[in-house]
Structure 1
Amino acid sequence: MDLLAVRTFVMVAEAGQFQVAAAGLAVSQQAVSKRVAALEKDLGVPLFTRTARGARLTVDGLAFLPHARALLDAEERAAASVRPGRRPLRVDVIGRRTAVAGLLRGFHRAHPDVDLDVVILFDVDADAAANAIRSGEIDASFRCVTVPGRDLPEGIEAMPVLDEPLQLFTGPAHEFAAAPAVAPAQLAGHRIWMPGNLPGTEWSAYYDALAAAFGLTIDAVGPNFGVEGLLDTIAESSTVATFLSERTPLVRPAVHGLRRVPLRDPTPVYPHSLLWHAGNPHPALTALRAHLSSRPSGRLDTEVWTPPWALRSHPRHGRTRS
């Protein structure tokens, strides 16, 4: 259905005159008449009775009017869902169970009036996310960016927001299950199973660098059935472990019999930054940046490790090893 003709019909119905509707639409009276006639032909019924005093709705016109208004309301809602400045703030995260997703939940609790869309651009790195920001597909993204982040597309800015510590997850029969802490170097030769690490993604590059730095074996072979499927396998194995964030929420860790073992000397951290376009006018983007900037620093009183190419969230805190 031609929504322009529907809008013209509603204008005539409310004005009661074709001439007044034409003035409101900034078109000629002839154009208004043609639009209404086309709509009547499409519907197969007359919508107005023309009189010397103007236009009066027929019985069919009266029946169609509330539906016509609903169509125009739906059109406006559809446009607002994608129109910059009016649509929800669209923010990309690596996963909905990650720490940065938790940051967005905190932002939403602090700003419940802000419409927010949480999206996932699968299998992309910071450059691809930056291009999606530049094109307007998304407003912001949480990604791991390189030092000093100057190879991002023009206009893209990056703000470090969170260093996310990793932990070793094992089953109860694993060698390190009862250890109070483990140094990454102690894991040399041990199998760390991470089937979600897809080549070309930023997290794959991060774990490749971690493996190279400490002699680890990161095994990405096998089907990825999600976190719960991964932990089922880990819980039953005496040789296989995995890395997860200490902030990763687990539904039933006690059922798995899993052990969370802190990593120390150094603690590997995954450095998250917020990316956005400097020219983005969305009002909620400023609120998100202010909220993230006001958070506590999350200082770690231990030596930390990040890849040499990664931009850290709080480089002044702790001792850094690359």
Structure 2
Amino acid sequence: MDLDSVRTFAAAADAGQFQQAAAELGVTQQAVSKRIATLERSLGVRLFTRTARGAELTIDGQAFLPHARELLRVAERAAASVRPGRRPLRVDVIASRVAPSGLMRDFHRAHPEIDLDVVMLFDIETAVAAIRSGAIDASFRAVAVPGRPLPEDIESVRVLDEPLQLLTGPAHALAGARSVTLGQLAGHRIWMPGIVPGTEWAAYYADAAAEFGLTIEATGPNFGSDALLDTIADTPALATFMGERTRLVWPAGHGLRRIPVTDPTPVYPHSLLWHRDNPHPALPALRTHLAAAAGGHGAAGTWTPGWVIPR
């Protein structure tokens, strides 16, 4: 199986658009289409369906995606086994469209000479275990969960406080507001499917709900960002929180609104975690880049839970 085709398939699946995948891979959109067509012929199935939004995985594409990722991981491990001291810097960014992913893209543009391997792990326990085992070099997390401090051998530095915005459909009661206060959100339903108990983001939103009297609902399965945007656009009674740096694309007819939240502004505290004895030569460059580019934290008029490490 041609690994370039597999890598292109994974990139297109993450991006949701062939054009964006081409930009990230540094090839033409025609090359992306040709590689995926070659892969589809070799497998004998369709992997994508073209839509007005871009490209969506078929059922076969969804089934193949985890195996494609494993193929790429195996190929990387095989190459690294005969490339002493040359393993790519491996960083966990949680998801492809959130702020840490953007920070890593900026780092790659600033340091194209550094090989990167970006992965997406589920929760902080999984990420910390991977850091301690050497499977990854660093992870972006909210640092801690109440009652579960970081192990002593894990270092962290807070690199970005990302403001949360309220995302509403055009018929929502607050859709016309230029900004909203946390007090104004009391009594409004904020729908966030996919919040998993025990994760750092679940702890964050539980504290926000308790402190400001918010109604945050995590009911229903998480069908992904497109399904969430469709529901918010069509349901006047629902809104959701979204990070200011989260990349979203929706059909023009949705009429969605991204509204700043103030008084105070809730910010999600992204920190970089790594093992104190990690020897990867590119890790100091990443830390220096983030210190210079990501900005400070703890600004006046912002809010984070009390358990967030202030450093």
Alpha-carbon distance in 2 for matches of 1:87, 1:208: 39
CA contact (8 A) 2:159 2:294 kept: no
Q: For 1:133-148, what aligned pairs fall within 5 Å after superposition? A: 133-146=131-144
Distance 1:308 1:77, change over 3 A: closer
Q: For 1:82-97, what aligned pairs fall within 5 Å after superposition? A: 85-97=85-97
CA contact (8 A) 2:114 2:282 kept: yes
Aligned amino acid, residue 260 of structure 1 = R
* C-alpha displacement of 1:286: 1.2
Give identity over the alignment, percent: 66
* C-alpha displacement of 1:298: 5.3
1:117 aligns to 2:138 (yes or no): no
1:166 to 164, 167, 172: 164
* C-alpha displacement of 1:247: 1.3
* C-alpha displacement of 1:84: 8.1
1:106 aligns to 2:106 (yes or no): yes
Q: Which has the larger radius of gyration?
A: 1
Distance 1:155 1:226, change over 3 A: same
Alpha-carbon distance in 1 for matches of 2:95, 2:140: 10
Give 2:129's aligned residue.
131
Aligned amino acid, residue 110 of structure 1 = A
Deviation string for 1:201-229 (max 9, x for gaps)? 11111111111111111111112111111
Distance 1:293 1:154, change over 3 A: same
Which segments of 5 or more consecutive residues in structure 1 lack a partner in the other structure? Answer: 1-73, 314-322
Distance 1:77 1:146, change over 3 A: closer
Alpha-carbon distance in 2 for matches of 1:221, 1:302: 33
CA contact (8 A) 1:267 1:302 kept: no
Give 2:42's aligned residue.
none
Aligned amino acid, residue 280 of structure 1 = N
* C-alpha displacement of 1:113: 1.2
Alpha-carbon distance in 1 for matches of 2:269, 2:188: 24
Give 1:27's aligned residue.
none
Aligned amino acid, residue 169 of structure 1 = L
1:226 aligns to 2:236 (yes or no): no
1:215 to 210, 213, 216: 213
* C-alpha displacement of 1:76: 10
Q: For 1:132-281, what aligned pairs fall within 5 Å after superposition? A: 132-146=130-144, 151-252=149-250, 254-281=252-279
Instruction: Give 4+ residue runs of structure 1 displaced > 4 Å after superposition.
Output: 74-77, 81-84, 147-150, 298-302
CA contact (8 A) 1:84 1:282 kept: no
Alpha-carbon RMSD:
2.6
Alpha-carbon distance in 2 for matches of 1:150, 1:82: 39
Alpha-carbon distance in 2 for matches of 1:82, 1:159: 33
Distance 1:178 1:134, change over 3 A: same
Deviation string for 1:118-137 (max 9, x for gaps)? 11111x12x44222201111
Alpha-carbon distance in 1 for matches of 2:162, 2:85: 31
SS class of match (2:245): coil
Distance 1:307 1:299, change over 3 A: closer
Alpha-carbon distance in 1 for matches of 2:157, 2:181: 29
Alpha-carbon distance in 2 for matches of 1:147, 1:207: 12
Distance 1:152 1:177, change over 3 A: same
262-271 vs 277-286, greater mean Cα deviation: 277-286
* C-alpha displacement of 1:258: 0.3
Aligned amino acid, residue 106 of structure 2 = G
Tell me the number of residue pairs that the alignment of Structure 1 and Structure 2 aligns.
238
* C-alpha displacement of 1:150: 9.7
Q: For 1:51-62, what aligned pairs fall within 5 Å after superposition? A: none
Deviation string for 1:41-91 (max 9, x for gaps)? xxxxxxxxxxxxxxxxxxxxxxxxxxxxxxxxx999715169884211110
Deviation string for 1:158-183 (max 9, x for gaps)? 01100000000001110100011111
Alpha-carbon distance in 2 for matches of 1:311, 1:161: 12
Aligned amino acid, residue 108 of structure 1 = H
* C-alpha displacement of 1:255: 3.2
CA contact (8 A) 1:91 1:118 kept: yes
CA contact (8 A) 1:149 1:158 kept: no
Give 1:297's aligned residue.
295
* C-alpha displacement of 1:284: 1.0
* C-alpha displacement of 1:143: 0.5
